[in-house]
A and B are shown apart, each in its own frame.
Chain A
Amino acid sequence: MSNAATAPAIAAPVDLVNVQVNGTWMKFPKGMRMIEALRQVQVEVPHYCYHPKLSSPGNCRMCLVETGMPARPALGQAEVEKDEHGFAKIMWSPRAIIACANTVSEGLGIRTESTLTKEVRKGVMEFLLINHPLDCPICDQAGECRLQEFSVEHGRGESRFQEEKVKKPKNNRIGPRITLDDERCIMCSRCVRFMDEIADEPVLGFTERGSHTVLTVHPGRQLTSNYSLNTADICPVGALTSTDFRFSMRVWFLKETNTICTGCARGCNMEIGSRNDIIHRQGPRDNNNVNSSWMCDSGRLDFHWVNSERRMTEPTVKENGTHRAAPWKEALEAAATGLRGLQPSQIAIIASGRMTNEELFLARRLAAVLNIGAENTDILPRTGQADNYLVHADRNPNTKGAMLLLTPTPGQQLAGIRERVQSGQVRAVIALRENLLNAGFTADDLGKLAHLVQTHVMLNDTAGFANVALPSAAYAEKRGSMVNATGRLQRLNAATAPPGQARDDWEILRDLTLAISGQNGLYSIEDVFKAMAAEVPEFSGLTLNAISDQGIPFLETKETVPLLVREAERKAKGIIVG
């Protein structure tokens, strides 16, 4: 008791139990699921229905393992037989049990390599494959299919099934974004549980019975949830597939890049699948502090514009009312020349909450070089409906970063800037990543400007007014950092290269600053971060590498994620592993 004062308890003590795994005694926390305990010691247990974020119905039977309990003394027997480590002899059960829904206990023995375990796995695989079509060559899941993988590892070489396979509906659009092939379904019910437990729209279910069981939606309903594509992610086979990704690329050709979604301030951790600089799909990446294992459909499907024809691909300069393509050096010089003769109060910067911290930092340097006041610096706020799951009302991915680096009150200066543009006080605007016509400015306002410099990824109407339009890189084409709504500092990584001559925004900003002031010293995005860390106290001691793929807590915002709060509740109740 005496050390209670010196060592404050930060966590309740965890009881450990001794468990024998494949002949070796190990210690695990009491109450841990067997499957998780085995995962912890790198013993893989094949499974389909079990998912740590969902309840465990134990219906696929794939995780069956041979187990045994410690012997207990018989009547009249004083002590049980012990092994050489002093543990009670294990009485092996003749029947295997499922590892996903059973927990470890003192003296338990587990064998994952035994004849019994191998035989039951083989048996379960044989039943699962009875009605499964052999269409792997045309199945989108091939290459990342658990059935395919476990069939190789635990299945038998050839089928003994002589009877007719049960025919079920194929190519069934059960929602706007999901296509279902019922013959491939192995009835693991992950999707049914996801829609019930996480998305709160239990529209999926099983009809019929036994080998005739069919996954379906009610005839009057559709799988319309904005989280529907998560069901395709967790489907261990090719039954539920993304209609958008279907047949577009074999998965083993995809290069996977860990980055974050920039659709809203949530900053869901995301993986981009790309090949030859074309994005083919995006999906969630596990992060229990941001998005758990999930992601909204709108966020993950919002990438087609990156591959589109409407991208700006070369810098243009306006001469005598018409635009012409110009080399970067010339375009940047033209941008700088237009600004040179002006007073600081005649220039405004409208940046974007879609820019990374590094870009915002360089925008801040540009503003400092030009001596632009706070009243002429702003970003365009974007708001929408929050959905009580992951989607945040703030649709800018980096408002928190912009508040820290550029403008503490986003959106407060826009109206004033516009008034000063109308009155002729502001003669030049540098628009970074924003279409001014969407920011409250009219064509008339823009016509009054003597000089408009615009960087953007897409061709838009503002570009028509710009004296210099510079093509920049999309979220998937850059490395950098952003701060999400809960104040977590997260990192973007480049999956593809920008099209044509488009450049990373930080390079454009550096070169523009260089053209105006002659300052330099930044040669990589890491340099920019270093300069930012030296100047902005919040970033001091950090590097882009230190952020890692899971991000780090950065600012205190006291915000919580509704979906994570509910998941924590289910975890506390023991419904899910978490």
Chain B
Amino acid sequence: MTIPTELLSKIDDVITHYPVSKRSAVLPLLHLLQHHFGYITDEGITWVAAKLELEPMQVMEVVTFYPGFRQAAPGKFHIRVCRTLSCAMAGSFELMDNLCQLTGIDRSHTDHHHSIAVSPDGKFSIEFAECLASCGTAPVCMFNDDFFEGVSADKAKALVADYGSK
């Protein structure tokens, strides 16, 4: 794993924000790594631990605690479908099935510990997320950092076509 100079200087800067305890920099460092590499590898965990003079275990605890941290590579566009109450009632499970069909993703092998499924071409990946904070416009989903509301079957089709061409 090579950390580019630019990322490294960002990391070094972030650490200075926590003068009392370097351990507090675990979360921001993990975000920076995930943002750059797309997910966090075992090597990434040991790297962060060494950087902050911690035991790898202390970083692994954080990575596995938050579902926001991925330990497996997502697709180019990572889709998050909200499944909390309002969206679930407004059809987020149907939306999930729909998106899987459109992107060719097979979710049958996902479970609690491996929640992300990737399309065969690596373009899309998908997982359920908890509340994305827009209950009034359910069902909602995100493509990477872009947020979409009231995602009907037609809108889903258009979104997949749109991102698929990017």
Contact = CB atoms under 8 A, between A and B. Distances in A.
* A complexed with B: yes
Contact of B57 (A203, A208, A209, A212): A203
Interface string B97-124: 0000000000000001100000000000
Nearest to A212: B112
Nearest to B56: A218
B60 A218 contact: yes
- Chain A at the B interface: SS class: loop
Contacts, number: 39
A203 B55 contact: yes
A207 B64 contact: yes
B56 A221 contact: yes
Interface residues of B, number: 14
A207 B55 contact: no
Contact of B65 (A204, A208, A219, A221): A208
Contact of A221 (B57, B64, B112): B57
Contacts of B54: 202
A189 to B, nearest CB: 11
Given A219-B42, A220-B46, A209 B55 contact: no
B57 A202 contact: yes
Contacts of A207: 60-61, 64-65
A206 interface: yes
Interface string A202-234: 111111110010001111110000000000000
B58 interface: yes
B112 A218 contact: no
Q: Which of B42, B46, B56 counts the most chain A CB atoms within 10 A?
A: B56
A209 B64 contact: yes
A205 B65 contact: no
A375 B68 CA distance: 75
Contacts of A209: 64-65
A29 to B, nearest CB: 31
A537 to B, nearest CB: 52
Contacts of A212: 112-113
Contacts of B46: 220
A213 to B, nearest CB: 9
A205 B62 CA distance: 10
Residue of B42, B54, B64, B112 contacting most chain A CB atoms (<10 Å): B64
B55 A202 contact: yes
A217 B65 contact: no
A364 B112 CA distance: 71
A456 B61 CA distance: 52
Nearest to B55: A202
A460 B165 CA distance: 82
10 contacts: A205-B61, A206-B61, A207-B60, A208-B65, A212-B113, A219-B42, A220-B42, A220-B56, A221-B56, A221-B57
Interface of B: 42, 45-46, 54-58, 60-61, 64-65, 112-113
Nearest 9 CB-CB pairs, A to B?
A207-B64, A205-B57, A218-B56, A218-B57, A205-B61, A202-B55, A208-B64, A209-B65, A203-B57
